[in-house]
Structure 1
Amino acid sequence: MKILELDHVALYVADTEKSIHFYGEILEWKSLPRPAFDFPGAWFSLGGNKQLHLLGARTEPLHEGTLGSRKNHFAIKVPDILETEAFLRSKGLAFRGPKARPDGIRQIFLQDPDGYWIEFNE
């Protein structure tokens, strides 16, 4: 199987408006047009042609142990981890890091309103 590239990451969210506010207003990610699906949601740019798709109307709980451990996450590459840290601090957000992985790449982990982890690395 040949893979061309990652297209999008989808997150199943409980409160669509809260998640839209987090990604759009707090993290300042660019909102993208979304087809008129029969369920709530939103799309955001992850740089290039990559996208984040929020799928709304989740009613069942997520597995808390998995969320709390960062086992399920998606990663965003940033040009400067210290600049990213300063931005997140300016927004009053709690996060983990920056901390270097064993290969020296520095990371920050941030949870969204549903408990999903976002990794920022340089």
Structure 2
Amino acid sequence: MLSIIGINHVAIYVADVAQSVEFYETVIGLTPLARPAFDFPGAWFKIGDAQELHIIGIRTEPVVSGSRSNHFALEVSDLDEWEAHFKATNTAYRPPKFRPDGVRQIFLQDPDGYWIEFFSRKGNQLI
């Protein structure tokens, strides 16, 4: 029987690898991973227990991303802590809002313009 174990990684094209590494380490708090010696620039990061973000440094075209189109979402344990972190790091973000299913979410953009959704199912739902 065919089965899918899960999503291993998300890959995005970036224009400036060093700038993206700084953002994903400092603002998002991702842990860098060892990366094979590809013949193009990039970096890998750990997300959660088994997922990864791969940045590929060969972007020359504009990014097409939006909170209602191409984006990726990170589930977090405490959305209020993340909002406080974004304020403390002077990171621009959209204020929290509720999805139609009652889950609260925050959106922000990385240096290339990719939208990232942060959401929490715990304690952040409409009653």
TM over 0.5: yes
SS at match of 1:107: strand
Is 2:19 aligned against 1:18?
Answer: yes
CA displacement at 1:16 relative to structure 2? 0.9
SS at match of 2:87: helix
**Alignment correspondent of 1:41:** 42
CA displacement at 1:49 relative to structure 2? 1.0
Structure 1 residue identity aligned to 2:117: E
Superposed CA RMSD in Å reads: 1.2
**Alignment correspondent of 1:106:** 104
Q: Higher helix proportion, which one?
A: 1
**Alignment correspondent of 1:91:** 89
Structure 2 residue identity aligned to 1:83: E
Q: What is the distance in 1 between the residues matched to 2:102 and 2:68?
A: 19
> What runs of 5+ residues in structure 2 fail to find an aligned partner?
121-127
CA displacement at 1:121 relative to structure 2? 0.3
Structure 1 residue identity aligned to 2:37: A
Q: What is the distance in 2 between the residues matched to 1:68 and 1:120?
A: 14
**Alignment correspondent of 2:73:** 75
Identity %: 55
Is 2:83 aligned against 1:55?
Answer: no
Cα 1:28–1:69 change in 2 (3 A) is closer
Count of residue pairs the alignment pairs up: 119
Q: Higher strand proportion, which one?
A: 2
CA contact 1:70–1:117 (8 Å) conserved in 2: no
Structure 1 residue identity aligned to 2:44: W
CA contact 2:63–2:114 (8 Å) conserved in 1: no
> What runs of 5+ residues in structure 1 fail to find an aligned partner?
none
TM-score after normalising by structure 2 = 0.88
* Larger mean Cα displacement after TM superposition, 25-34 or 39-48: 25-34
